[in-house]
A and B are shown apart, each in its own frame.
Chain A
Amino acid sequence: MKKIEAIIKPFKLDDVKDALNEIGIQGMTVTEVKGFGRQKGHTEFYRGAEYVVEFLPKTKIEVVVSDEQAEKVVETIINTARTGNIGDGKIFVYDIKDVIRIRTGERGKEGI
């Protein structure tokens, strides 16, 4: 099993969710996060003075899927979240040791 963690532009969340639903993923976790990449935030202006917003708002989605599904999920996220501009985000893929559904105690693939 794999966990796919993607940091995306917030306005892309609905597109990504819809696309992942279409390829049959069972659930996801979404968090509002802030951070910076190579651009180190951006500058804004207020009453004639410049200031740097160091952490930009992003959305983090986490999806746990079986090994076979993982590559398909990554591709789908890339295709839907990409704008081609700076700040499109990143995807991290982790190995998952185990999954437990709390209600039934099912483990592993059944737990997803």
Chain B
Amino acid sequence: MQLTKNGGRIMERLKRIVSIISLIFILLPVTLAFAEEPKAPAAQAAPAATASPAEQAPAAPPAAPAWDAKIAADTVWVLITAFLVFFMNAGFALVESGLCRSKNAVNILSKNVIVFCVTVVFFWLVGFGIMFSSGSSFLGTTGWMLYGADNSPATGDAYKGIFASLNWTGVPLYAKFIFQLVFAGTAATIVSGAVAERIKYFSFFVFAAVMAVIIYPVAGHWIWGGGWLATMKTPFLDFAGSTVVHSIGGWAALMGAILLGPRIGKYTADGKVNAIPGHNMGMATLGMFILWFGWFGFNPGSTMAADPNAIATVAINTCIAGAVGGVAATFVAYMSLGKPDLSMALNGILAGLVAITASCNWVTPAGSFIIGLVAGVLVVYAVLFFDKIKVDDPVGALSVHLVNGIWGTLAVGLFAADIGGVKGLFYGGGTAQLISQIIGIVSVGVYVVIVSGISWLIIKGIMGLRVSKEEEREGLDIGEHGMEAYPDFVGASSKR
């Protein structure tokens, strides 16, 4: 007995060493690449050139060219909103760990920490290039590690470079990158919640890399990278990512949750749903507020320019949809479940925010109200639906991000109020936009389901997906990480 246990330990160590070596092999070419310095972006050269005449004539009042001020304002706006979106990592960490049990808190927090780190590395290496560089209408084929021609912040026809799909925003390339990077991180983080409390830590680690390399950038290229969905006769529209970020994350999460199966104790022997309460509703609530706060970067920042009217419109639409989603979910929970469940209210607010993300630039506050209202209703019934079909999603990630990502994307085709030339069905625009939205939803869904399904299965075959029953009962904190989140406290006693 003792011997086999030791044998298992040694195998475990071997596996760890192999994974570390493979990591070194991945990182080695990167380190070598530093031998040649990247060409200084044109953006850095430009201000220096305009500064020198001023030095020669110090008596003249400093009259900065108008475009310079705009670039500065836009860049500050894009970076500040990027940092807000980055902060959403904290929101996800708190929501997910709060809605799970204390015995798995370290594991969930670890996943939220590592998923962003992994995304940074792989999105910089290849993800950004696949998503935004020129190539085919299916994926970009240059721009690895941001190398290649680029004269940002030049825009439109003045832009000469390989990231032409982003030539509409007049900010430096690195600002474009960091903004898109935090979005990629969000998509990957969504998966973490749905597979919580049972997935092996390093299996999730690998999937996070797959997400940042293949899944997110390819489907993203179709929509935001000048790919085929963006170049249809009536282009598919997704302003800030109801599909690009939330549905992609949601579809990948769905496949993970299905392949993992429900947590031990989620269903009784006769198939009845058992509640597995989260361990800290305070954390979950704070996490929701941080996500909401971050969404003021996520949506208004997606203008990628400090355009006063646009960012104000997007901000109010974002706020209204979230708030109405919370009210709707509270009342639906109260009427159909008997009590105004706090976790449902939190999910409802997030559902409203996800749903308004695709259309926030093209709808009126009244449209936003209805989009949020529908989202808040949808999310409660989606939670009950996923419970019923035995797809165990501890934090409601599928109901929030997948279901409402789809709803929000459809809503563009319904509620777009002839703002920026986009007209939805309810504003006399006919069904053209709606049909484009459906094409986008279905094609992205099919792609992500297939690729993430295959990726999960490969990971399952090589590393395994799910921890052992004993480990799941004891908690992943001890099993995966050898530590506890609350070593000073006695947890709630539970048969599960």
Given contacts A45-B341, A46-B341, A46-B343, contact A51 B275 (CB under 8 A): yes
Count of interface residues, chain B, beta-carbon cutoff 8 Å: 20
Is residue B53 contacting chain A, with contact meaning CB distance below 8 A?
no
Ranked nearest first, the 8 interchain pairs of A and B with the lowest CB-CB distance are A49-B275, A46-B275, A51-B275, A49-B273, A46-B277, A48-B337, A48-B384, A47-B343
Interface string of B175-208 (1 = CB under 8 A from A): 0000000000000000000000000000000000
Given A48-B273, A51-B277, 16 other A-B residues pairs in contact with their CB atoms under 8 A? A44-B277, A45-B275, A46-B275, A46-B276, A46-B343, A47-B275, A47-B343, A47-B383, A47-B387, A48-B341, A48-B344, A48-B383, A48-B387, A49-B273, A49-B274, A51-B275
When distances are taken between beta carbons in the complex, the residues of chain A under 8 Å from B276 are 46
Give the complex CA separation of A29 and B292 in angstroms. Answer: 47
Is residue A95 contacting chain B, with contact meaning CB distance below 8 A?
no
When distances are taken between beta carbons in the complex, the residues of chain B under 8 Å from A50 are 275
Give the complex CA separation of A47 and B398 in angstroms. Answer: 14
Task: Pick from B274, B339, B384: contact of A45, CB below 8 A.
Answer: B339
Residues A55 and B341 in contact, CB atoms below 8 Å apart: no
Give the complex CA separation of A55 and B339 in angstroms. Answer: 22
Main secondary structure of the interface of A (DSSP, over half): strand
Is residue B424 contacting chain A, with contact meaning CB distance below 8 A?
no
**What's the least CB distance linking A45 to chain B, in Å?**
6
Interface string of A34-51 (1 = CB under 8 A from B): 100000000011111111
Considering the complex, give the chain A residue whose CB is closest to the CB of B395.
A47
Count of interface residues, chain A, beta-carbon cutoff 8 Å: 10
When distances are taken between beta carbons in the complex, the residues of chain B under 8 Å from A34 are 493
Is residue B475 contacting chain A, with contact meaning CB distance below 8 A?
no
Is residue B326 contacting chain A, with contact meaning CB distance below 8 A?
no
Considering the complex, give the chain B residue whose CB is closest to the CB of A43.
B275
**What's the least CB distance linking A52 to chain B, in Å?**
10
Q: Which B residues from 370 to 385 make CB contacts under 8 A with A?
A: 380, 383-384
**In the complex, how many residue pairs between chain A and chain B have their CB atoms under 8 Å apart?**
40
**What's the least CB distance linking B412 to chain A, in Å?**
30
When distances are taken between beta carbons in the complex, the residues of chain B under 8 Å from A49 are 273-275, 387
Interface string of B338-350 (1 = CB under 8 A from A): 1101011000000
Given contacts A50-B275, A51-B275, A51-B277, contact A45 B337 (CB under 8 A): yes
Give the complex CA separation of A44 and B341 in angstroms. Answer: 11
When distances are taken between beta carbons in the complex, the residues of chain A under 8 Å from B336 are 48
Considering the complex, give the chain A residue whose CB is closest to the CB of B267.
A49
Is residue B249 contacting chain A, with contact meaning CB distance below 8 A?
no
When distances are taken between beta carbons in the complex, the residues of chain A under 8 Å from B338 are 45
From A34, A44, A51, residue with most partner B Cβ within 10 Å? A51
From A44, A48, A50, residue with most partner B Cβ within 10 Å? A48
Considering the complex, give the chain B residue whose CB is closest to the CB of A34.
B493
**What's the least CB distance linking A30 to chain B, in Å?**
17
When distances are taken between beta carbons in the complex, the residues of chain A under 8 Å from B339 are 45
